[in-house]
Amino acid sequence: MKLTNHGYTFGGVPVTELSKNFGTPLYVYNADVIRKNYHTLKNAFSGVDVHLKYACKALTNINVLKILQQEGAGLDTVSIQEAKMGLRAGFQPNDILYTPNCVSFEEIQEAVSLGLIINIDELSTLERFGNEYGGSVPCCIRLNPHIMAGGNSHISVGHIDSKFGISIYQVPHIKRIVDNLGIHVNGLHMHTGSDILDADVFLRGASLLYEAAKSFEKLEFMDFGSGFKVKYKEGDITTDVNDIGQQIVDSFKKFCLEYGKELQLWFEPGKYIVSNAGHLLVDVNVVKQTTSTVFAGVNSGQNHLLRPMMYDAYHHITNVSNHTGVERIYSIVGYICESDTLGYDRKLNEVRVGDILAISNAGAYGFSMSSNYNSRFRPAEVLIQNQKAVLIRKRETLDDLLQNQIEVDLV
């Protein structure tokens, strides 16, 4: 989002024009930023056969999936529904990694029938998979490296108390199951979490995968997950992907030489690709002053953007309607019957009823985590490409809330 003499623009389109034409609350995504982020990350790992599998749980709008499919990305999915969305968007089954946890075996069987790349993170499931398919269907193994990433237990998934993955210390057990049932293991996978700043976390995990690889002779790829930290506010330290890329590439080349063949290097970024490509535009309903705080109450809340409440996440907020106003301190709160504060004690240009606020870094885990709590409608979504804004999801209506309910005669 850029500030010009005439106000804020996003992707070359005036932000106030977006709110006027499509209403608020409104999710807006910039296709050019999505493409740029994808290629920036891919280029950081040049020198090896790198494959980026977009973690579509971050943002599943089918138009965003189509953009990344056109750019050459694969897809990382965690449910059969996400995988089917990917197929609908044009991804080939062998471009889709399916990494579920705690699902029924019937869902895994469906993923096999669709031809997806299967990633297994639990010993009993691996055993059942081997009994069902033997070596006829290859699978990847998700390992838990017992590494705390990002310094936040909410977004770290590779620590010892995590539900994700099979412990790195259980590789001998995995090996016994694989050998006894003739399972074809074609990949090893890890994902430690989000907001990783330096290469050390990846390299520590990589060294564990490299050691585990000695037990599997038919590997085709190694998946290092993701977790690259993005910028949320001025002064934020972010992941230097070029520095990390060079160190991992050097490490991976050395491993492949020792392993005896060149493997593919996989990552599964989500937030890095779409976070800064999206904004949530909201309208100010009330400005309420109490004995201690001035609240700017907006027509949105945790039902549309859960991250501030769930993860204590920071999202920069800008008053796009009054960029010349005197700066004052506000707490931006939602219209949900909960304490849904989107931003505490923020310095904004004077906020008035009717002003439009833009919440930044809303491209990742914004709409995809939204809900109909309080029977509120989920927002519309707009995509900007070639400096033109197009509607890619209609705003919900009361009929949408009622469409799956069945009214019965009550006695």
Torsion of CA 358, 36, 61, 390, to 10 degrees: 70
Report d(CA 275, CA 278) in Å as an integer: 6
Report d(CA 64, CA 353) in Å as an integer: 33
Q: Name the pairing type of β-strands 341-349 and 327-333.
A: antiparallel
Q: Which DSSP letter does residue 377 get?
A: P
List, in order, residues 6 or more apart from 247 with CB less than 8 Å away: 199, 202, 203
Report d(CA 203, CA 157) in Å as an integer: 17
Report d(CA 85, CA 58) in Å as an integer: 13
Report d(CA 379, CA 367) in Å as an integer: 8
284 and 355 Cβ atoms separated by less than 8 Å: yes
| 359 CB burial (10 A radius; 0-12, 13-18, 19+) | buried
Q: Which DSSP letter does residue 288 get?
A: E
Residue 334 tokens, joined: 């939602």
Report d(CA 341, CA 187) in Å as an integer: 42
Report d(CA 272, CA 64) in Å as an integer: 14
User: Phi-psi category of 293—alpha, beta or left, where left has phi over 0 and alpha has psi -120 to 50?
Assistant: beta
What's 136-151 look like in SS3? CCCEEEEEECCCCCCC
The set of catalytic residues is: 337
HSE-up of residue 341 (Cα within 13 Å, Cβ side): 13
CB atoms within 10 A of CB 221: 18
Report d(CA 228, CA 150) in Å as an integer: 9
List, in order, residues 6 or more apart from 213 with CB less than 8 Å away: 188, 219, 222, 255, 259
Report d(CA 47, CA 44) in Å as an integer: 9
Report d(CA 324, CA 318) in Å as an integer: 12
